[in-house]
Copies of this chain bind each other. A is one copy, B any other.
């Protein structure tokens, strides 16, 4: 949970483009020094939200506070923010160096301070050899790094990153991830970070806000979101490969059970949200990585023999597709274990690790 006083605080923020309602009465408090990751499907309004915080879009309603100051009507430059744009927005006629230094020069910083900051940022981002080039002579990833650099050199309270690493290779990305984390720890400034990369989200975030259609669905620590998603959407959206869902019936009473097409899962170890479990149509969700197979599986509270249908290799391990209770079920297996299509194996899981959702509303039970 957020610690300290809020650094960025958003109240009832709404925004329309014409009659397209993009953000709807959105509330969000971000603590000082917090690292908040915005996650959500494409087009859900993440960039729009960042733009609103930055003051680049005229909001329709609501208020925005930064460091306790109402900045709703402030100019972007007076908000103490730095931003990396999804579209980079580099100044095309300036060299990389010019792009990095321009804001600083304008702010009237001394020359050697500017040089120092640029040196540091370009070292972190590995763009030293490119400093004299213009953006048009850079590759996509190089442009993206310059865009990050432009934000990094600024000494601000709040950083807004819009998918800053999307065009970088995995290696560089993990390096920069570590750098950003380190930077965050050192500077202790607030960061709001949009990403589609779950690893990024989970490793970087203090809290994650999952958005859908302009509304925040869940705002919580990464593990909490991962383990206890508040609704089916969040459960489905996070995790890759994504959670397995099985539709069925919840049978309440003393010994609650989940029933579907020949399967019955005992739920006594499951932590219901409400004190007692209701009865009715529901969806049972279990993450692929929580499904064991082989000997380990047999020992678990629920286990079943199934047939392997598809195998997807994934480098270090493989994804196995099978069926359970009439729905698809996938789980991970180590690449070396000799599983083949058509094999029959025992799979099992601990229902305590599962999530149950009400079928009509999709909310967690």
Write the residues of chain A forming the contact surface with B, with a CB cutoff of 8 angstroms: 17, 20, 39-43, 45-48, 86-87, 137-142, 144-145, 162-163, 166-174, 196-199, 202-203, 222-223, 226, 236-242, 287, 289-290, 312-317, 332, 335
Contact = CB atoms under 8 A, between A and B. Distances in A.
A34 B197 CA distance: 28
Contacts of A290: 316
Say whether chain A's binding surface is mostly helix, strand, loop, or mixed: mixed
Contacts of A238: 315
A313 B202 contact: yes
- Kindly report how many copies of this chain are found in the complex they form together: 2
B237 A169 contact: yes
A287 B242 CA distance: 24
Contacts of A239: 315-316
A170 B198 contact: yes
Contact of A169 (B41, B313, B317): B41
22 contacts: A20-B137, A41-B171, A42-B139, A42-B140, A42-B141, A42-B144, A42-B172, A43-B142, A45-B139, A46-B139, A47-B140, A48-B139, A140-B163, A141-B196, A170-B196, A171-B242, A198-B315, A199-B314, A202-B313, A202-B314, A203-B314, A289-B316
The 9 closest A-B CB pairs, nearest first, are: A42-B141, A289-B316, A169-B196, A43-B139, A86-B140, A166-B166, A170-B240, A202-B315, A41-B169
A315 to B, nearest CB: 5
Contact of A42 (B17, B169, B222, B242): B169
A172 B40 CA distance: 10
A289 B41 CA distance: 30
Contacts of A315: 198-199, 202, 222, 226, 238-239
Contacts of A287: 316
Given A170-B196, A316-B287, A316-B289, A87 B42 contact: no
Contact of A43 (B45, B141, B226): B141
